[in-house]
């Protein structure tokens, strides 16, 4: 995979990067909104007297299916570029947050009631802050570099995500192996 954007017909690499960056930011917003919606449903169920077990199962499933694989794909592609761009301390913190998200997802399995919903809300809040740091700190730095091809990075992430969980293990397996 090349990380260099070859000029083609006068296209400015940073302009192309800005377009990809906008798509990545929109995807992060969708992930955050999807998690927030599911946690909101669990909160409504607890407020109505339910244990919200089914809703919390849906939260864990969403994290396992959408959020955690996305985080793994970022670590495998985007974060390497960010390290080379001088953002290593930030990347280390972001990888630590991914580990926290994996661990909290594993800990949420089987939880019900107010405690489970509170844990899910905290997880959603941390994830929203995490996505904001990627959007506001990592992506702008990379998008501004003409030698970086965010389109190639996005393609690599999409390729990894399209492979499904085979070969990368489940997020809970990753949480166990990182403990």
Task: Tell which residue, 52, 30, 28, 29, has the closest CA to residue 40.
Answer: 52
Is the pTM higher than 0.75?
A: yes
Q: Which residue has the higher pLDDT, 21 or 164?
A: 21
| pLDDT at position 176 | 38
Contact 63, 36 (CB under 8 A): no
pLDDT at 118 over 50: yes
Report residue 14's pLDDT band, with 50, 70 and 90 as the boundaries.
confident
Structural domain boundaries in the chain:
14-178
- Give the separation between CA 6 and CA 18, rounded to whole angstroms: 16
Report helix, strand or coil for 55. helix
pLDDT at 8 over 60: no
- Give the separation between CA 138 and CA 142, rounded to whole angstroms: 6
Q: Which residue has the higher pLDDT, 99 or 2?
A: 99
Report residue 135's pLDDT band, with 50, 70 and 90 as the boundaries.
very high
Report residue 15's pLDDT band, with 50, 70 and 90 as the boundaries.
confident
pLDDT at 165 over 70: no
| pLDDT at position 11 | 43
Indicate the average pLDDT of the chain. Answer: 87
Report residue 65's pLDDT band, with 50, 70 and 90 as the boundaries.
very high
Region 91-104: what's the mean pLDDT? 98
Task: Tell me the backbone φ, ψ of residue 104, rounded to 5 degrees.
Answer: -70, -30
What secondary structure letter does DSSP report for 165?
S
Q: Which residue has the higher pLDDT, 166 or 120?
A: 120
């Amino acid at each position: 995979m090349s990380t260099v954007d070859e000029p083609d017909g006068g296209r400015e690499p940073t302009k192309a990067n800005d377009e990809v960056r906008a798509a990545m930011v929109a995807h992060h917003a969708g992930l955050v909104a999807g998690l927030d919606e599911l946690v909101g449903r669990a909160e409504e169920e607890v407020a109505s007297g339910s244990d919200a077990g089914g809703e919390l199962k849906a939260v864990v499933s969403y994290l396992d299916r959408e959020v955690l694989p996305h985080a793994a794909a970022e670590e495998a592609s985007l974060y390497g570029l960010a390290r080379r761009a001088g953002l290593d301390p930030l990347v280390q913190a972001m990888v630590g947050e991914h580990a926290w998200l994996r661990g909290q997802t594993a800990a949420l399995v089987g939880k019900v009631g107010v405690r489970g919903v509170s844990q899910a809300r905290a997880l959603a809040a941390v994830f929203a802050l995490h996505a904001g740091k990627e959007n506001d700190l990592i992506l702008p730095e990379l998008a501004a570099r003409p030698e970086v091809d965010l389109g190639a990075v996005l393609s690599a992430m999409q390729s990894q995500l399209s492979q499904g969980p085979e070969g990368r293990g489940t997020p809970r397996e990753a949480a166990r192996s990182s403990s």
